A = this chain, B = another copy of it.
Amino acid sequence: MEGTGKLGQGFEHRDENATRVPVHQQVYAQLRDAVLFGELAPGQAVTIQGLIERTGAGMTPIREAIRRLTSEGALEFRGNRRVVVPMLTVDAIDDLIFLRETVESRLAAHAAKKITTADIAALEKIDAQVDEAITRGDVSAYLRQNFAFHAKLYAVANAPVLMDVANSVWLRFGPSMRVVCGRMGTQNLPDNHKTALDALKAKNAQETADAMREDVVQGMEQIREALLDGTAFSDTID
């Protein structure tokens, strides 16, 4: 996705049976990933004109994508029609930890009741890639695979409302997570996925919820400490 530039290349012939993805959704997905995986730094400005050049799309679909991301908390309206990637405050991170702890453990419990062997296999495959990214020290891959693991669990839980909240939380701490990982590398990162997988196999909702809560809290606390420390975010724009 990085550096490809324009959208829609290679899809000029439309008599294929491939389902057409609307431009506004493509822009949304691209911008969402950019925020989620830290390609945009906290405080960085996001302009409509810039996205027009970057994506080659028209103005309307870009506006739609920005509105969507804004109400999901990925972007922030800064008064004078300026849109930026929000910067985390300590107050905000406390609420995010609380939310993620609460929502993610409930999602995990739901998932434990509905999970199939195929789902477990998929989760194990993703978790193996998480491990690989950690040993390789590949921050970007870790962020993507770790998200994929949690996202898969949300999908299994099949609870749209909770999933929306969880995704919004991810979008809000994503940029800071990247900054923290960039500083610390991948060594101290949490991975309680194995415990969760064992609990999932046993279809034990309570244990699954506890394992995921542990995983979540560990990760979020690292961001919180970096925020309190302050040095990690000294280079961000304002």
Chain A residues with a Cβ under 8 A of chain B: 24, 60, 63-65, 67-68, 70-73, 91-92, 95-96, 98-99, 102-103, 106, 159-162, 164-165, 168-169, 172
Contacts and interface: CB of A to CB of B under 8 A. Distances in A.
Given A71-B71, A71-B72, A102-B102, A96 B161 contact: yes
A161 B67 contact: no
The secondary-structure label for the interface of chain A is helix
Nearest to A93: B161
A172 B159 CA distance: 14
A73 B164 contact: yes
Which of A71, A73, A91 has the largest number of chain B CB atoms within 10 A?
Answer: A71
A223 to B, nearest CB: 14
B60 A165 contact: no
Which of A72, A106, A165 has the largest number of chain B CB atoms within 10 A?
Answer: A165
A98 to B, nearest CB: 7
Nearest to A167: B71
